[in-house]
Amino acid sequence: MNITKTNETNIEQKKSEEKKIVFICSPFAGDIEGNTERARRYGRFAVTKNAIPIIPHLMYPQFLCEDEPEERKLGLAMGLVLLSKCQELWVFGGKVTSGMAVEIDKAKSVNMPIRYFDTHCKPVGGMR
């Protein structure tokens, strides 16, 4: 048995199995219940695409108050830290909110790939 060949095969297999970490950018405020349900669907979609979704607007509202300006600001700032750890930004929906615009601008500033999808997870316009 050729150990070197086996190790090379295992390394190649692991590389092909590596999952991308993607930041899910979608509306939250306004229709919080509907937007939360859609964000969950977007996260599941990312998993089906072999990605690891990061969705701060599903996590931070569990302990930060969206209606408190300082807590909202803190949540957005922490979300940007998480965004910096991701490999791609995936933007969902037809409307870009002010919070989403900040995330998109941050991704653009570091030349992060951005993919756009409609609310049904269909690609819109390719990668930018």
Entry pTM = 0.84
Does domain 19-127 fall under CATH 3.40.50.720? My reply is no
Domains of the chain, residue spans: 19-127
Q: Per-residue pLDDT tens for 30-47?
A: 888 999 999 999 999 999
* Separation CA 45–CA 122 (nearest Å): 10
Q: Per-residue pLDDT tens for 49-64?
A: 999 999 999 999 999 9
